[in-house]
Amino acid sequence: MKKPGMSIIERAKEVAEEFEYGEEDVQRATKHFIKQMNEGLERDGATMGQIPSYVTSVPNGTEKGLYLAVDLGGTNLRICSVDLLGDTKFSILQSKCAIPSELMFAKTAAELFAFLATKIEVFLQTHHSEQLLSHRRKPMEILNQNSLNREGFLQLGFTFSFAFEQHALNRGSLLYWTKGFNIPDAIGKDICGLLQEEIDKLRLPVTVAALVNDTVGTLLARSYEASGTTKTLLGAIFGTGTNGAYVEKMSNLKKMKVSDNPAPTEMIVNTEWGSFDNELSVLPNTPYDIAVDMESLHPGIQMFEKRISGLYLGEILRYAILAIAPFSTTMIIRETSLLYKQFSIDTSFLSTAAADLTSDLSAIRQELAQTLGVEANHEDSEAIRRLVLAIGRRAARLAGVAIAAVVIKSGRLSQSTPRTNLSYPAAEDKPSLISTYSFLPEASTKPAINFFGRFFQWIRAFFLQWTGRLAPKPAIIAPVTSDLPEIVDIGVDGSLIEHYPDFEALIRTALREVDGIGLEGEKRIRIGIAKDGSGVGAALVARMADLRT
């Protein structure tokens, strides 16, 4: 309610305070997060899905081969062909397009998957035309036979960024839609089957070999690129949606019966953490969060996601701006302004506003005028920037809760790795994307070839420093006699973590506040972007599936 004499800045401070999520809140939420992770491991239907991915090993960077990948995200569709080169590197060809909004609400699943198949066809025509043409030149009888044995077909990994129950590497049924999608017809159906059907209708030489959540793909891609002494623990997405997948001990995955002999010791689990604390027992719940949820496509679910991810942060900001606007005597918001329209503020606005350090806040003012039709002066823009920073900070601190919980639960901070010969740089050395850790030799128990291979990689890394391609200083060669504490490696992807200024730094502040992590633990957590993560991850799972058949 408008208070007489209160300025828009004072009002913005008040609203910004509503987004405070303090140290105690973070601690409490982390404990609750671990509790819900455990519940999800024990039984189906728990708040957090903890879905087994059937991926029981992580790559080590030596994998090779050409694979196709399709990535159906929250906003875009990407088709790629990924050539895994076997030396932690890959080359990738890709095409990307926005998913037409009408398809997000299609009447039948077939409509959406037919669209995907036509895009795969165009991709093959552009980049793999020989393979496509030689397949289509085959006589019909052979084609019919081929569709049964599919010999010589390109193997495709399908990254599907939604919650599905995995039944095998190449089978999974949709549990529920999230983000901006709602096609009830697809629920419960086998996603690979739906895509394969449409691909076969177009007579494409492609087999859908594997289905993977984007977080699992991110974890695998990060493991491939950053392979070294440390195995990646977690793959996390902070983009249109949010979620994480991590490596769990099979003995903890109580709800899953394993018949394989020998039984795997670990499996990647898709947490579906977007639905953490749907009951709202520890999550913050401002009037703006309530409004966003009520007007969302899926009210009452994905409560964690709705406080963190790109699809919703712009909406939270929109409601917060509407709450401070009446306190301005200068801001002009026309009745027709887009500020009154759902989803009119894109998350990129938050990134731009948070990064605007100009003295007159010109970037914010320009964005407000151009995208929302709002005329704001310096004071109004300053007030809006305060809201942006408060919403972004809360999102990052909540992201920190999820990361802290997974790290603590894994027990990896209490592990140490015996190493010889090389010391390693401090965890905060940046960038962590391709760091010298990857090139540290394994323990001396490993075969000599491995040692020398890695040693040459390290020498290479050392020279790359001089060309400016790697920022961190090379590891110093010095004898180390004692065990070194384990580095916990995390791969991340998504527009927020990539573009929102200091998102990682804000996550790290929260990590330091959590018992069981603290200052020392936080230094040992290495976070790196898994660029093209879902494409490369899908290729890696397609390869795994290929090897299993």
What distances in angstroms separate CA 516 from CA 39, 181, 343, 405, 479, one per listed residue? Answer: 21, 38, 38, 10, 29
Give CA–CA dist 195/199, Å, rounded: 6
User: What gap in Å lies between CA 131 and CA 138, rounded to an integer?
Assistant: 11
- Least spacing, CB of residue 357 vs ligand BGC, in Å: 30
How far, rounded to the nearest angstrom, does the alpha carbon of residue 220 sit from its chain's CA centroid? 12
Q: Which residue, 153 or 164, has its beta carbon nearer to ligand BGC?
A: 164
Nearer to ligand BGC, 179 or 508 (CB): 179
Looking at beta carbons, which pairs linking 361-368 to residues 24 or more positions away fall under 8 Å? Answer: 361/385
CA pair distance 309, 254, nearest whole angstrom: 30
CB of 215 to ligand BGC, least distance (A): 5
Which residue, 213 or 436, is less far from ligand BGC as judged by CB? 213
Residue 533: CB minimum distance to ligand BGC, A: 11
Q: Which is nearer to ligand BGC, 210 or 333 (CB)?
A: 210
Answer whether 511's CB lies under 8 Å from 404's CB.
yes
Q: Looking at beta carbons only, is 176 or 439 nearer to ligand BGC?
A: 176
Nearest approach, Cβ of residue 135 and ligand BGC (Å): 33
For residue 390, the minimal CB distance to ligand BGC (Å) is 24
Question: Would you call the peptide bond into 100 cis, given omega within 30 degrees of 0 as the criterion?
Answer: no
Taking the complex as a whole, the smallest distance from the CB of residue 243 to ligand BGC amounts, in Å, to: 3
Give the shortest CB-242-to-ligand BGC separation in angstroms: 6
Instruction: Report yes or no: 346 and 371 within 8 Å, Cβ to Cβ.
Output: yes
Which of 357-378 are b and which e, b meaning 16 or more Cβ less than 10 Å from the residue's Cβ?
A: eeeebebbbebbeebbebebbe
78: its two tokens: 């990407």
Q: Which residue is nearest to ligand BGC (CB)?
A: 241
Q: Which residues of this protein are in contact with ligand BGC, per CB under 6 A?
A: 74, 161-163, 178-179, 213-215, 237, 239, 241-243, 272, 274, 305
Q: How far is the CB of 96 from ligand BGC (least distance, A)?
A: 15
Q: How crowded is residue 201: how many other Cβ atoms within 10 Å of its Cβ? A: 13
Question: Which CB, 21 or 162, lies closer to ligand BGC?
Answer: 162
Query: How many CB atoms within 10 Å of residue 277?
Result: 20
C-alpha triplet 540, 545, 548: angle, nearest 5°: 130
Yes or no: say if 189 and 109 are a contact pair by the CB < 8 Å rule: yes
Smaller CB separation from ligand BGC, 241 or 491 = 241
Q: At its nearest, how many Å lie between ligand BGC and the CB of residue 311?
A: 8
Minimum CB distance to ligand BGC smaller for 204 or for 530: 530
Nearer to ligand BGC, 74 or 205 (CB): 74
Structural contact between residues 472 and 431, judged by C-beta atoms closer than 8 angstroms: yes
